[in-house]
Amino acid sequence: MKPETNTSSAENASPAPGGVVRTVREVSAVVDPEAVDPTEECPPTQIVDRAAASEVELASGAVSGRIGGAAAEVRGVVTGLKHGVLDGVGAVPGLSGLSRRLRGTAQRPSCDAAGVLKSGRLAGLTMNGAIWAMAWPVLSESVLNSTVGLVDTTIAAKLSVSAADAISGAAYYAWFIGLITMAIGVGATALIARSIGAGKKAVARAALGQAVTLAAIGGVVVAVALALCAGLIAQMLSLQGEAARDVKLYLYAYSAGVPFSTVMFACTACARGAGDTLRPLMTMVVVNVVNLAAALTLAMPWGLNLGVTGIGAGTAIAHLVGCMIILRFHVRGATGVALSARWMKPHAVTISRLLRLGLPNFFESFGMWVANMIVVLMVGFMSASATGAGHAAAGATGEVAGGLLGAHMLAIRIEAFSFLPGFSMGLAASALAGQYLGAGFPNLARRAAVRCATVAAGMMGLMGLVFIFFGASLVAMLSPQEAHRLYTPQLLFITGLTQIPFALAIVYRSAMHGAGDVRAVMVMTWITQWGMRLPLAYVFSGVDLPIPAFIAGKEGVVLNNPFPFDYGLKGLWIGLCVEIVLRCLIYGWRFSSGAWLRARV
């Protein structure tokens, strides 16, 4: 079609099939989506894909006679259009002011050389102020989030040893749900942080909408898979009798809330990318209150006495409530990035950008999950065979030896309260690195990450001292089980020695994620998990590995551990902690190189 030079003709023209932008109204909508009333019959084109980018250039030529030099400026932003979403700045009632607004779209810096941010929820804050404003709500939220799991474990321990082992083992498979959330969340956080830093609000809104859609779809798929595989999971954990039954009952109930939990945590990640950590904290406060009340009422004998089913149902109910709350915050725009239904319609370019960042994180996290699942299987093998110097020397047999899985998980639950400060500082480093890079200040991104790492190392180092000197007291407050009181303090002592390198590893990894350097982090994580973590755990634990019948050709074939170290569960944790130190060194090397600052999102 030959370009129209008459403004009125262009305004009255019908858009071409396939969403091609041809009218003045549509061009204005692309430049500033908020300039057009979304309730009109033809809603504006907020997101322009690669094919439509050339059509925008044609449309700009159609009106060049009326707006003078604006057509050339429209062509100038076509390159940006080819990469996804073009943000709008201010209100554009028509084509008047188009040139001025295009000049201000992506060139306006959103922070100064001292690190004071000028956009998003962190606007007006210095670097230290922004770190504190992001970190303390994240720390509080993370403590509350971990409390959900700790409450489940504690209630289960009060029911029976089998219930405690069932909840502990199932928790690792529930962790798989986090892989979906993290894959989406890392991509959304990085994209939203960069967009907020560059002042591109429409990009941030698109990322939020697509993240919610992907999280909902992924949550439904994982929930169905978790419920269908509950019996297989019990077999893989080497659990029998009541423990196997409890695993299945817990997972059946827990899986009902999985779609809500994936959406809730994806929305939380998006809010953090925009610099808002307060509303996720408020959400988790409610989630914890609901989880505690529901789990106790449903599970305990003085309530409905549903046992582990009640624990899983309580968590599902809590996640449903939390999902509704955080969605409400986003719909109102209170988090700094607004959610509406029109942004949730699947859009290939935005999804591809999220997946380009999220898929490497998914495979990274999946590699970590499988490696840690193998560690759990090792613990299950030790528990089933009641061998290994770590518990044989203590004379542990029967129920005490059978509680190794619960002791292992209780140590992880307690240790979580140490790495949560590192996690909170890591999230602050992730968001700030993204925003500073979006504003064009890589030196500030590095400086923010270093400050976060320093604070995390100090806080986690102090928690390590608590584990070393007061581990037995902590365990005594949380569990009456003999196996837990025997083994868990030893594990806390070992991990207490490595909290500082653990802190540095967490923050370095998070900062590189926030910058979009996800592929390099994925490779490093696979190397440390599979080349170091698993071999070291196997060597020091002395665990013998049973060979599946479909591989060995018959039942009862066991691969005896050839190494002289037979330290049992304690030796396994020694191997895990040595790997953490090596991981810190590898992440630190990548961070120091500065290559992560040049990652593309």
**Residue 559, domain member (yes or no):** no
Give a yes or no: residue 432 inside a domain: yes
| 50 and 143, same domain (yes or no) | no
Tally of CB atoms within 10 A around 384 = 17
Residue range(s) defining the domain that contains residue 31: 7-105
Give the burial class of 568: count Cβ atoms within 10 A of its Cβ; 0-12 exposed, 13-18 middle, 19 or more buried: buried
Q: Is residue 27 part of a domain?
A: yes
pLDDT by residue (tens digit) across 297-348? 999 888 898 989 999 999 999 999 999 999 999 999 999 899 998 899 988 8
Residue 400 lies in a domain: no
Look at 137-141, 315-319, 595-599 and tell me which has the smallest mean pLDDT.
Answer: 137-141
Domain finish residue from 105, 136, 159: 105
CA–CA separation, 503 vs 579, rounded Å? Answer: 14
Same-domain pairing of 426 and 471: yes
Buried b (16+ CB within 10 A) or exposed e, 186-223: bbbbbbbbbbbbbbbbbbbbbbbbbbbbbbbebbeebb
Q: What is the pLDDT of residue 478?
A: 83
Mean pLDDT of 511-529: 93
Span 568-579, average pLDDT: 95
Q: Is residue 255 part of a domain?
A: yes
Looking at the structure, tell me whether residues 284 and 210 fall in a common domain.
yes
Element (H, E) at 308: helix 308-332
pLDDT on residue 239: 75
Distance CA 107, CA 440 (A): 10
Domain count, the chain: 2
| Same-domain pairing of 143 and 244 | yes
**Mean pLDDT computed over 129-149:** 81
Judge whether 116 lies within some domain.
Answer: no
| pLDDT value for 553 | 67
Q: Examine the fold and report which residue of 73, 105, 137 is the final residue of a domain before the chain moves on.
A: 105
Residues 275 and 312 both lie in one domain: yes
Residue type, 245: R
190 closest CA partner among 484, 435, 545: 435
Q: Give the residue, 412 or 52, on which the prediction is more confident.
A: 412
Tell me the whole-structure pTM to 2 decimals: 0.67
Is residue 480 pLDDT above 50, yes or no?
A: yes
**Which residue, of 70, 105, 140, is where some domain finishes?**
105
The 3-state secondary structure of 144-169 reads HHHHHHHHHHHHHHHHCHHHHHHHHH
Question: What pLDDT score does 396 carry?
Answer: 41
Domain shared by 353 and 433, yes or no: yes
61-75, 102-116, 129-143, 500-514: the lowest-pLDDT one:
61-75
Q: Are residues 180 and 327 in the same domain?
A: yes
- pLDDT over 90, % of the chain: 34
Residues 79 and 217 in one domain: no
Q: Is the pLDDT of residue 550 over 70?
A: no
Per-residue confidence (pLDDT) for residue 2, from 0 to 100: 42
The predicted structure's pLDDT at residue 475: 92
Q: Are residues 219 and 79 in the same domain?
A: no
DSSP string, 491-525: HHHHHHTTHHHHHHHHHHHHHHHHHT-HHHHHHHH
Say whether both 136 and 94 belong to one domain: no
Q: How confident is the model at residue 534 (pLDDT cuts 50, 70, 90)?
A: very high
pLDDT at 504: 97
Residue 42, pLDDT > 80, answer no
Q: Are residues 95 and 197 in the same domain?
A: no
Identify whether 402 is part of a domain: no
pLDDT of 423 strictly over 60: yes
For residues 392-418, give the mean pLDDT: 68
Answer yes or no: do 252 and 340 share one domain.
yes
The per-residue pLDDT for 472 is: 92
Whether residue 202 lies inside any domain: the answer is yes
